[in-house]
Structure 1
């Protein structure tokens, strides 16, 4: 991932990895509050950690890697 600061909004650029994991999803670069609300409504995803550990996203990643 290299430069993590470039993957998050500027307000989160100086946060630790642990703080980023527990930050709201819209802390990620280009994820809007509206996007975050859709993720919450659809999958109960509230934090970056929730997004990264969501079983549906993990299943999709595994299927994609196996397909390659």
Structure 2
């Protein structure tokens, strides 16, 4: 399993939280995602939490396509 530096992907307020807490956090817990971005994701796709974003079919489709592509 690959490791991830949580301080690089999370807002500072969330970097020390447990994984279950992070998954239930608003998407704005992700570094670079603003509260407004979170509102727009909820309006467009019903995404409220980090877990919702991870489960979004469009995200999974994009990841699958990227995995099939030659190294970029």
TM-score, length of structure 2 as denominator length: 0.85
Aligned counterpart, 1:43: 45
Root mean square deviation of aligned Cα? 1.1
Greater helix content: 1
Give the match's secondary structure for 2:48.
coil
Q: Output the TM-score relative to the length of structure 1.
A: 0.90
1:54, 1:7 → 2: CA distance? 18
Structure 1 unaligned segments of length 5 or more: list them: none
Dislocated runs of 4+, deviation >3 Å: none
- How many pairs does the alignment contain? 68
